[in-house]
Structure formats: structure tokens, C-alpha cells
Amino acid sequence: MTETPQPDPGDPRLAETFDEVEDALLSRWPETKLEPSLDRIEAFTELLGQPQHSFRSIHLTGTNGKTSTSRMIETLLRALDLRTGRFTSPHLERMSERISIDGEPLDDDAFVRAFNDVAPYTHLVDAEQDHPLSFFETIVGMAYAAFADAPVDVAVVEVGMGGSWDATNVIDADVAVVLPIAVDHAKYLGDDPATIAVEKAGIIKPGSVAVLAEQTPEVAAVLVQRAAEVGATLAREGVEFGVVSRTPAVGGQVVTLQGLRATYDDVFLPLYGAHQAQNAAVALAAVEAFGSGELDDDLVRAAFAEVTSPGRLEIIRRSPTIVLDAAHNPHGAEATAAALEDSFSFSPLVGVMGVMEDKDHEGVLVAFEPYLSHLVCTQNSTPRSMSAAALGRVAAEVFGEDRVSVVPDLADAIDRAATLAEAGEAIDVSIGAGAVLVTGSVVTVGEARALLKGRR
């Protein structure tokens, strides 16, 4: 541990409330702005005494599935009586969701303490670097310091964007998990999967185990080459581990998983879709690789039965059924659409969609079009949100004008969709089995979740 410098009397006032912490963090560079360098986070963690080296870790990257898989890994580790920290992003409803200890997000008081523990050193980094610490770099420092202080046995850490230059990558993880790679954040990461894979492969460290979800051949080649270069051990879905079988069931699905050391039969997973079964296989392999191998069958079944993943095909209300899913790129939308077809028989299914301006909204619309009877275009509260009117114009080209409504206010959009879903005959479908899917962005889904929970 390096000697920690003492802050001077001119340091900024410490925060007293959650809102003050949120304001202080949001006043920094947004997490959507990336300057590819680890210089600032390395300087920051050095001032904090290198907290990230005080615990073991499992690091996850990939285009989709990181948060669900992180939650599965954490649940399995906790079943092994290990104390866990989990860092995920973005958050659905509250910023403190990003930092969890023992499976629970930091409460407001703990979040304020985590900020105040690191705040005196943020301005020291700001003064020494070409650019000030970003929002994301600051909250990563908070997480690592909180995990060290707890202390946790193992941290499950999801990258924010990419891999090599992501602020989380100052850890040297025992296990690097690479979930399916597709195109997202093209401005920063590149516009083809193989280019993006080079950046994401940067979390695979010397001597680690690289647990790879099923990839396209060009992506797999990049990841295998990186593992060979650094001497990492490979564990590949479809080769060393995978999903043996899956059957949709009430409330989720029943899966048989082939792990690295054993086969685990009749595992109930309370999440929907083939993609979540694959995430479960990856999570299982990651925990086997992290520990000493085969896990107890009953422990695995009990852990998976407890898994939750808010905002991922989450049924938040009945009558009509309202489903929330944070799909925000074509790859994610295709997986969600396939899961809806696989696990439900909604008729009609009415979509409510609000997207970010910088995303491939047309690709998302095309992926959902065959499955939605009608689409209500809306927007979320952030400046990055595409306007409902602009989304509606693109949607009309994909769906046809008669299948698209534009309702800028999210609450009103959900109400409009619910009315359409309940009055199935208005769009030539039988009454009674209608549902609403709210999707397009993590922010849109988070805001919808807060609205709908308030109405219960």
C-alpha cells in the first residue's frame, strides 16, 4: 500500500446527502465521454492506496448481458459463503445501485460515506492531469475503496465501455469474462465486431482464465490470440462449457448446464430467454474457474433459483401485463424478441420505446417490428434522449404510419400502450392476452420502473 497524502485545508466541502453526491458526480465528464487513457484512474487509485489490489476479482465485458451475468456470478459466490462486491453500470433508478456489497446496493448513508472517502483526492488528480476525473472514473474509485474497506473477498466488476481503456481495468482479475460482442458505442470502439473485440480483449490478463461466451469466428480469433499472448487459460462456450438443454417454464426456464467440471441438471432459472440460459452457463463457468472446480449440485440450484435481473424481461405489472427490457442495440433487441416469442404468447404486444440519440435506433426498430402490433414512441428525461417525434418518423418507415403513435411523456405513453393492449379488437386482435413492452434504453426502462412501482 502506498502512503496516502493528506488533503489540505482548502479541500472542497464533503457531501452530506445522497443528492449532493449525485450532483457532484454528475458535474464531472459524463460516462458517455471517453478519453482513452488509464492515467487518471491510476493516479486516483494510487492516492487511495491501491484498494483494487486488496481483493480478488472477476471482470466482465461484452456488448450485452454483463449485468445479468454479474448478478448470477455474485449469487453463486455468495452461496459459497464469500463476501462479494459488485460494480455494474449504468443504473436503472438510483446511482447507488452501481455499488453493491453482500448482494445489496449501498444505502444512501453508505453511498455518501463512499464518496466522502475519496472526494478529498479527486481535486489532486484534477490538478495534475490534462483532463479532470470523469464521473465514471470517480465512481469506480468509490467502488474499489468501498470494497477494500468492507472488506470483500471477491469483486464482480462490469466494464463501463470497452475494456483496455475502461477505468475498471486497473484490476488484475483472476477471471475475465467476455460476453457476446456486437456493435455498440461505435464512435469510441469501432464499427465492426472484430475491431471492438481488440479493445474488449484488454481485460484478459496474464495468468488469468478467460471465459468466453459464444462468439462469431472473427471475434473468437481476436480473443484466442489475446489469451495466447498473455498466457491465459481458455474456457469457451460450446467447447469446454455450455447449455445442454433448456425448457421454458412458468416464471422462467429449466436448464441443464455443462460446467467446466460437471453437468448440473434441472436448474430453475427465473429469467426468460435463451440468452439468459447462456448467461447462466457463462456465470457457472466463471465461478468454477475462480474456485477449485466442481460445485455442489444443490448449491447451484438454490443459487440460480434466487437470481433476479431488474429491467431484463421483468414483469412489473399485470392486467395488462407490462414487461420492462433494457435492450438498446440490435443485438440485445433480437435476443429480447426471441425470448418474448419463446416464453410468452402475448396478443397484442404493444411497444413503448424511448432511445438515446447516439444508438442504432433503426436497427432496434427493425429487430422488434415483427413482434409488435403497435409502437408508441416516447422519450426519457435525459438530454441524450432522441425526441419522440424524431423516433416516430423513423418508426413510421419501419412499421408503417398506422402502427405508430407518438406520445412524448413516458407516463402517458405507457397509459396509451396499456389501453391498446387491453382493447385488442381495436387492432384486430383478441381481447385478454395483451401486454406492453417498455424498451429502447436503460434510462427509459429505469424511469418506467420508478413510475410503475409508484402505482402499485
Kindly list the distances between the CA atom of residue 401 and the CA atoms of 208, 394, 396, 416, 418, in Å, as whole numbers in the listed order.
Answer: 52, 10, 5, 16, 19
Q: Give 97-105's long-range contacts (Cβ < 8 A, gap of 24+).
A: 98/139, 98/143, 99/139, 99/142, 99/143, 99/146, 100/74, 101/146, 101/147, 101/150, 101/152, 102/78, 103/74, 103/75, 103/78
Is 191's pLDDT higher than 80?
A: no
List, in order, residues 6 or more apart from 70 with CB less than 8 Å away. Answer: 60, 86, 88, 156, 157, 158
Residues in the chain: 456
Report pLDDT digits (tens) over 242-258: 999 999 999 999 999 99
pLDDT of residue 183: 56
Cell numbers of 76, please? 453463486
State how beta strands 175-178 and 56-61 pair.
Answer: parallel
pLDDT of residue 189: 47
Report pLDDT digits (tens) over 393-425: 999 999 999 999 999 999 999 999 999 999 874
Is 455's pLDDT higher than 80?
A: no
pLDDT of residue 187: 47
State how beta strands 209-212 and 175-178 pair.
Answer: parallel
Q: Is 178 helix (H, G, I), strand (E, B) or coil?
A: strand
HEC letters along 59-118:
EEECCCCHHHHHHHHHHHHHHCCCCEEEECCCCCCCHHHHEEECCEECCHHHHHHHHHHH
Rounded (10°) CA dihedral 214, 207, 88, 145? 180
Record the pTM. 0.92
pLDDT of residue 375: 98
Mean pLDDT over 445-451 rounds to 96
Strand partners for 85: 101, 155
Are 243 and 284 in contact, with CB atoms under 8 Å apart? no
pLDDT of residue 426: 47
Cell numbers of 74, please? 455474485
List, in order, residues 6 or more apart from 353 with CB less than 8 Å away. Answer: 364, 365, 368, 375, 376, 377, 378, 391, 395, 438, 439, 440, 444
pLDDT of residue 3: 52
- Ranges of beta strands (E only) in 149-241 are 154-158, 175-178, 209-212, 233-236
**Cβ atoms within 10 Å, residue 196:** 26
List, in order, residues 6 or more apart from 315 with CB less than 8 Å away. Answer: 321, 322, 323
Strand partners for 86: 100, 156
Report pLDDT digits (tens) over 263-280: 999 999 999 999 999 999
Are 380 and 410 in contact, with CB atoms under 8 Å apart? yes
The candidate with the shortest Cα–Cα distance to 213, out of 193, 255, 241, 233, is 241
Report pLDDT digits (tens) over 358-390: 889 999 999 999 999 999 999 999 999 999 999
Cell numbers of 133, please? 476525473
